[in-house]
C-alpha cells in the first residue's frame, strides 16, 4: 500500500467521504496487487522471469536518459503518491509483460496481404500513402489540333509519338512524359480525369484559354502496394496490436485459473 496516499485521504476527507475514498483506495490497490501477482505467476509458468537486479538496471537507465538522480526520482514518485518499491515492481511487471508478448505471443501472429490492405485502408491519414500514376500529357492550343492529335492516336495507339508530334507542352520532346505522380497531389480536374484508369487515355480537359490537355496513364501503383520497409512497419504494427490483445485475453484466463486454484 501507499502510505503517502493513505495519509492524504485521512487529511482531505471526513466521515462517509473518507470511508468511500478508503474503499476505493483499498480496492484499487488490491486489484493492482492481484493483476501483478497473476502476471508474475503466469510468466513463470511460461519460463519468463525478471530479476530485481534487471528492474534496478532498467530504472537506472530511465534515470540516466532523463538526467535525474535517485533523490529526484524519489521526489517525483512522492508527488505521484508512489514509493520506490512500488515503482520498481511496476517496472518489473512492465518488463515481464513485454517479454511475454515478445517471446510467447508475437511469434504466433501471422499477417496476410489482406491484413496489410485492411490496415492501410483504415489508417490512410496517418500512413500518408497514395495511389500513384505514371503519366504522359498532350497539350494543344485549339480544338482542331486536338481532333487531329486524337485521330492520330486512334490510328496508331502510340501516345508518346502523338505527344512528340502535336503537343505544345515543354515535355513534347520526351513524348509528354511526366513520370510517377501521387494521385492525391494532382489537381482535382486532372485527378478526376485519370481516376480509375490503370492504363489508357483520359478524356480531354478544356482549359480557360481554349486549349486542351489529354493525359495518358502508362502505369498505376495502388497505395496497398507498399515497399518492403513500409510493409515491415505495417506488419509490425498489426502484430503488436494483436499480440497485446491476445495477451490481455490470456491474462484474464490465467487470473481466473490462479484465483480459483488459490481459493481451493
pLDDT for 214: 97
pLDDT for 259: 62
pTM: 0.55
Strand 205-206 vs strand 200-201: parallel, antiparallel, or unpaired?
unpaired
**Joined grid coordinates for residue 129:** 500513402
pLDDT for 264: 40
Residue that has been written with the C-alpha cell 490470456 in this structure: 250
pLDDT for 30: 66
Tens of pLDDT along the chain (264 residues)? 566 677 777 788 888 888 888 788 777 766 777 777 888 888 888 888 899 899 999 999 999 999 999 999 999 988 877 889 889 988 999 999 999 999 889 999 999 999 998 998 888 778 777 889 999 999 999 999 999 999 999 999 999 999 999 999 999 999 999 999 998 889 999 999 999 899 999 999 999 888 999 999 999 988 888 888 888 999 999 999 999 999 889 888 887 876 655 444
CA distance 231 to 242: 16
Residues paired with residue 181 on neighbouring β-strands, in sequence order: 133
pLDDT for 260: 53
Amino acid at each position: 500500500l501507499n502510505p503517502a496516499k493513505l495519509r492524504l485521504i485521512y487529511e482531505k476527507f471526513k466521515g462517509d467521504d473518507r470511508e468511500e475514498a478508503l474503499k476505493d483506495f483499498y480496492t484499487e490497490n488490491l486489484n493492482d496487487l492481484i493483476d501483478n501477482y497473476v502476471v508474475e505467476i503466469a510468466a513463470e509458468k511460461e519460463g519468463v522471469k525478471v530479476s530485481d537486479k534487471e528492474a534496478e538496471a532498467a530504472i537506472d537507465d530511465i534515470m540516466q536518459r532523463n538526467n535525474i538522480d535517485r533523490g529526484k526520482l524519489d521526489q517525483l514518485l512522492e508527488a505521484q503518491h508512489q514509493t520506490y518499491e512500488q515503482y520498481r515492481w511496476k517496472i518489473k511487471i512492465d518488463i515481464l509483460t513485454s517479454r511475454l508478448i515478445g517471446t510467447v505471443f508475437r511469434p504466433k501472429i501471422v499477417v496476410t496481404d489482406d491484413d496489410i490492405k485492411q490496415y492501410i485502408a483504415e489508417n490512410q491519414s496517418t500512413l500518408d500513402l497514395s495511389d500513384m500514376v505514371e503519366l504522359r500529357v498532350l497539350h494543344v492550343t485549339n480544338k482542331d489540333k486536338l481532333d487531329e492529335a486524337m485521330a492520330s492516336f486512334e490510328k496508331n495507339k502510340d501516345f508518346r509519338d502523338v505527344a512528340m508530334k502535336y503537343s505544345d507542352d515543354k515535355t513534347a520532346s520526351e513524348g509528354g512524359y511526366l513520370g510517377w505522380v501521387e494521385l492525391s497531389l494532382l489537381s482535382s480536374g486532372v485527378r478526376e480525369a485519370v481516376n480509375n484508369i490503370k492504363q489508357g487515355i483520359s478524356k480531354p480537359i478544356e482549359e480557360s484559354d481554349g486549349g486542351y490537355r489529354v493525359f495518358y496513364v502508362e502505369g498505376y501503383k495502388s497505395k496497398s502496394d507498399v515497399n518492403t520497409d513500409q510493409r515491415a512497419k505495417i506488419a509490425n504494427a498489426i502484430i503488436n496490436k494483436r499480440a497485446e490483445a491476445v495477451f490481455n485475453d490470456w491474462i484474464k484466463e490465467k487470473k481466473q485459473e490462479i484465483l480459483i486454484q488459490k481459493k481451493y
